[in-house]
Amino acid sequence: MTRPPQNDHDHDPFGRPVQVEPRDSRWKRRIAGGAAVLALIAGGSATGAFLAENHLTGRPVPAATAATTVTEDANLAPIVAKVQPGIVTVLVADSLGSGVVLTADGLILTNNHVVEGGGTVSVRLSDGRTVPARIAATDAAHDLALVQATGLSGLTPVTFATDDSIAIGDTVLAFGAPLGLEGTVTSGIVSALDRSVDTGGDELTGLLQTDAAINQGNSGGALVDTSGRVVGINVAIATTGDSSGSVGLGFAIPADTATAVVNQLRAQL
């Protein structure tokens, strides 16, 4: 919508009157246009991540060759060493995602969208072993699922924080298998709280937002604080329309929601 010239500034350089679009209207149109090209879901079936892994190496990337990318702060290395044994890769048919260890005998928490496609399930541990697994319970509304790996003992469970322990600006690390690169760690901060993401089916609310790099394959992995506690489960990213990669807007299901859902799901087992 335009309006007729209303003051001396609504003229071109030659003094002729011009039609001016209201400032608020121009601003809203730019915001809406930007939002229209955001794709808000990470991982999906993670097929893209699995294919990228094979394209890069010709075979699955073993844990021993995984990349670790953190800041230059040397204090982060002990955190990585502490958390990494509790992070796994979840493989379902030709899909790939991440997960966190809940119990020593192999109960794994991941995203529901990692496993909902069905098919044979297996879990690859941080030491490179791959073991068969089954889907134990799911909660589609919160996009969380439990997977039970078989024949395991002595695993290292992760420790969860509470929502009141996290604040905007806190340093966090994201663990998982982005683009099939297992054992990857990225760093950033919590950049916002209480975000909502429309996944196309259900709306996820109360999410943590982070600028730690998260990509396809990170789904179900851990977002941890500098004490090595899980503050969120990575679930989604925002991307521009011409890219499926990280643009520094990732989202995680907060710890309190994750632990509440886990308790509900375990009660059904």
Please name the amino acid found at residue 72.
E
Please say whether the beta carbons of 175 and 222 come within 8 A: yes
Per the DSSP assignment, residues forming a β-bridge with 97 are 90
Q: What's the chain's length in residues? A: 269
Structure token pair of residue 116: 């909902």
- Write the CA distances from 28 to 1, 23, 32, integer angstroms: 12, 9, 6
Q: 184-198 and 95-101 as β-strands: parallel, antiparallel, unpaired?
A: unpaired
Quote the CA–CA distance of 49 and 94 in Å, as a whole number: 10
Q: Which residues are catalytic?
A: 113, 143, 219
